[in-house]
Amino acid sequence: MVQLETIRQLARQRGLYLAGVARTSDLAAAPDLPFYNAWIEQGYHGGLAYLAGERAFMRADLERLLPGARSVICLALNYNTPPPYSTNLPDTTRAWISRYAWGDDYHEVLRQKLGRFLAALRRCLGIPFEARIAVDTSPILERALARLAGIGWVGKNTCLINQKLGSWLFLGEVLTTLELELDRPAPDRCGTCARCIEACPTGALLQPRALDSCRCISFWTIEARGPIPEAMRPGMGRHVFGCDICQDVCPWNRKAPADAPEEFRPRPGLFNPTLEQLARITEDQFREMFRHSPIRRIRYRAFMRNVCTAMGNSGGPKFVPELERLASHPDPLIREHAQWALKQLRVKD
Ligand code: SF4
Ligand code: SF4
């Protein structure tokens, strides 16, 4: 039986802050799966096909991802960085980009670290076994597995929270055919706190751990590719990529160490940038600026859609010239959001 401490040591040596082990068979009996299925049935996933359908079933059946899978090694990487939280910087003329997107795309960074960890595990054990790495790309209930593996609990804001590191964590998994020493599931430490639910500006946290994606700023600024419903736009404030509010207010993040690796430190111009600065970015500059960044995934048109919406919410007449220019943009998505934003600013004049 491979000891948990061996796994943890190998993980720490590869820059992975937390490691725990869950048994694949425990997932089927965990309450997380029926909760997830009910969430999908209620349509709270915002119609995202990759979260529903057959893949939802697969989330419990890790055997389909790795025949003979017995253990899942859950690993976490801290991305908390020193700059202040969004809730301490209320200037509506400056954009907010989610903390996780200030640096490099975590999929690439984490996959590389998991690859090195797995190679080290093979060298250390010296026995043949099958394994598969997953970083947000396979249909896995990763927060449920991380909870079972003792990494943390799923907070009322739906994030995985670790008692020492808080919730600024990227999660990854190594499925293996190995029999490994297990950890105990982490207890829920939210208690009577409901700060995240109260702080959500759009009421997306309907009840503890039940997020209605269709009301969540992160969903509309990152996942949605088309027009943002007009009713949602005012509540989005100055968010142009994701939203950190329900993590910023969490008391477990108050003392979270801000020692993320260099790759996740803010690139120049991405921490609380001015909206003018973003409004002037051309498509070529966007591609250059967001190379190897998660922001690149939403493409230029959705990013500019978000920037226009934020300018409309800013109350700042100084954005009118930029918006007038964007209101005749060749892309109808950008054009329509710029026209909407102009209307908002003119109403407030
Ligand atoms: Fe609400 Fe923002 Fe959290 Fe979404 S990310 S639930 S909008 S606070
Ligand atoms: Fe839990 Fe409070 Fe943090 Fe929300 S803010 S996740 S209720 S501890």
Average pLDDT over residues 43-50: 76
Q: 310 C-alpha vs ligand 2 centroid, how far in Å?
A: 27
pLDDT of 56 above 60: no
pLDDT of 54 above 60: no
- Ligand 1 atom closest to the CA of 235, numbered from 1: 7
Among protein residues, the one with the nearest Cα to ligand 1's atom 2 is 243
The residue ranges of DSSP E strands in the chain, in sequence order, are 18-23, 71-78, 96-97, 131-134, 153-154, 160-161, 169-176, 205-207, 210-211, 239-241
Say what the pLDDT of residue 283 is: 97
Contact 154, 205 (CB under 8 A): no
**DSSP code for 221:** I
Say what the pLDDT of residue 348 is: 61
Residue-wise pLDDT for 185-225, tens only, equals 999 999 999 999 999 999 999 999 999 999 999 999 999 99
Residue 34 banded pLDDT, cuts 50, 70, 90: confident
Residue-wise pLDDT for 318-335, tens only, equals 999 999 999 999 999 999
Output the ligand 2 site: residues, CB below 6 A. Answer: 155-157, 190, 193-196, 249-252
Best mutation site among 157, 212, 213, 216 for ligand 1 pocket (most ligand atoms within 8 Å of CB): 216
**DSSP code for 267:** P
Output the ligand 1 site: residues, CB below 6 A. Answer: 157, 200, 202, 204-205, 211, 216-218, 243, 245-246
Say what the pLDDT of residue 52 is: 65
pLDDT of 57 above 60: no
Among protein residues, the one with the nearest Cα to ligand 1's atom 4 is 216
Global pTM reads: 0.94
Say what the pLDDT of residue 55 is: 54
pLDDT of 27 above 70: yes
Residue 45 banded pLDDT, cuts 50, 70, 90: confident
Kind and range of the H or E run holding 272: none
Q: 132 C-alpha vs ligand 1 centroid, how far in Å?
A: 32
Average pLDDT over residues 114-134: 96
- Ligand 1 atom closest to the CA of 239, numbered from 1: 2
Q: Whole-angstrom Cα distance, residue 223 to residue 242?
A: 9
Determine what percent of the chain is predicted with pLDDT higher than 70: 96
Say what the pLDDT of residue 64 is: 85
